[in-house]
Amino acid sequence: MEYGNWRLPAAEDILRDTPICLHLLVNTKLLMKKIGFLSFGHWADHPSYKTRTASDTLLQSIDLAVAAEEIGLDGAYFRVHHFAHQLASPFPLLAAIGAKTSKIEIGTGVIDMRYENPMYMVEDAGAADLISRGRLQLGISRGSPEQVIEGWRYFGYQPGEGKDDADMGRRKALEFLDKLKGEGFAIPNPRPMFPNPPGLLRLEPHSDGLRERIWWGAASNATAVWAAENGMNLQSSTLKFDESGKPFHIQQAEQIRLYKEAWKKAGHQREPRVSVSRSIFALVTEQDRYYFGRQGKEADTFGYIEADQRAVFGRGYAAEPRQLIKELAQDEAIQEADTLLLTIPNTLGVDYNIHVLSAILEHVAPALGWR
């Protein structure tokens, strides 16, 4: 039975597992969610890896997105890292997936704007979005520490005088957002090779609506508020800057609430979207228990992702479905989000990752009201 936007448990479920169902009945924040996967796109010449080369990773990423759509998953998202044996140039991959799928959302989590040319990125993003018929969900951000020192300098970029790399990343993000609007800004040549439309010219191809499908990956409360003020959806990953010493999921939930308040205050006319990332594994086979059985008791950890910035890293979840449901029901940040991105072990291949995702859809999501 359904009530509003969420599903009430069947009577037999209540009799079988009263504590869980009572929690679902009283907690009206457990709403249906979009569920996607997030792949870091690793490869290495290791005997146990299914992805030994960059070609393996790229081609398997396409196959994984196709298979994920077939089982009813809502999103296929990919991390972007430079100077590493991981996915780095997202737009050819996103366009290829867009051409071979028809429903699944296709996105990034996240593109490091310090490395980007916003103008060229508008063209690439527009083309990929048109190929996918408007299914791109692009996560962008200032970026995290990378494989090399100030790697963006090798790409020909440097912060302006008196600015740092974070300022540069945010400046480029705002330029990207501005040009996505599709408004003319360039003075046309009076003797062009091809006829021009009247007025100033914009970048082409333009994809209408893509501007509203840009997400900002925020590691702090302040940048989450900044994202809301600038009309971007919010991506919050498995780590954030430690701003209170509280457990990760509580800090993340507070960040999301601040974002939503700032969005409302800014007066935007559409509803924002919020995603959180989690490592979640339902142990339903012996192979699952072999791979992830020792991860079920993980706790939050505190450390330094940057020399002067303390961060909190969220725990992973790995347990039998019944226990997993109880633990996930207590995660405040998941409750606040409308989209959940499941980080996957891409090196284990397409078949096993589809098993991992199917187990969540079948054994976990319905009991939590996500489906």
- Tokens encoding 321: 């479905």
pTM: 0.90
For residue 216, what is the DSSP state?
A: E
Q: Give φ, ψ of 83 to 5 degrees.
A: 60, 30
pLDDT tens, per residue, the chain with 371 residues: 333 333 434 433 433 443 444 344 434 444 689 999 999 999 999 999 999 999 999 999 999 999 999 999 999 999 999 999 999 999 999 999 999 999 999 999 999 999 999 999 999 999 999 999 999 999 999 887 789 999 999 999 999 999 999 999 999 999 999 999 999 999 999 999 999 999 999 999 999 999 999 999 999 999 999 999 999 999 999 999 999 999 999 999 999 999 999 999 999 999 999 999 999 999 999 999 999 987 655 788 888 877 778 999 999 999 999 999 999 999 999 999 999 999 999 999 999 999 999 999 999 999 999 98
Task: Name the pairing type of β-strands 233-236 and 214-217.
Answer: parallel
Q: What is the sign, positive or negative, of the torsion defined by CA atoms of 119, 123, 128, 133?
A: positive
Q: Own/partner pairs for 161-167, CB < 8 Å, 24+ apart?
A: 165/114, 166/142
